[in-house]
Amino acid sequence: MTQRSPVCGAQDIGTNWSSACEEQGKLVSTLMEPQRIKILRLLCGGELCVCEIEHELALPQNLVSHHLRVLREAGLVAARKEGQFVHYSRVEERIHELMLTLEELLSN
């Protein structure tokens, strides 16, 4: 049986795919929800309380908390508790890593 090469010129990524690529894919998938991108953009201006994020996005608290949890688990935001309020900020080093990951995943 003859092995066909892709007509479009695509390369075989099977041999180059690793567990690191899996992790990178998971990190990138965090951004598949537009509200998470909006949250990251809101936080460009500095730390915000959950209630401020809710107000800006016009979303209920439980949905904002869900998106913040996903971003926190991905290491893209950090939380700081002050009394009964939780303030979030971007983790710039991790965001830079995400940008490099996107570039690496989409390049040859």
Task: Give the range of the structural domain holding residue 57, as residue numbers without chain letter.
Answer: 33-106
Asked if 100 contacts 87 with a C-beta cutoff of 8 angstroms, the reply is no
Asked if 27 contacts 101 with a C-beta cutoff of 8 angstroms, the reply is yes
**pLDDT tens sequence across 67-106:** 999 999 999 999 999 999 999 999 999 999 888 888 887 7
**pLDDT tens sequence across 3-53:** 554 444 445 555 566 677 777 778 888 888 999 999 999 999 999 999 999
Tally the domains of the chain. 1
Asked if 88 contacts 48 with a C-beta cutoff of 8 angstroms, the reply is yes
Residue 91: give its domain's CATH number.
1.10.10.10
Cα dihedral 6, 11, 17, 20, rounded to 10, equals: -140
* Domain membership flag for residue 38: yes
The number of residues in the chain equals 108
**β 77-82/85-90 pair status:** antiparallel
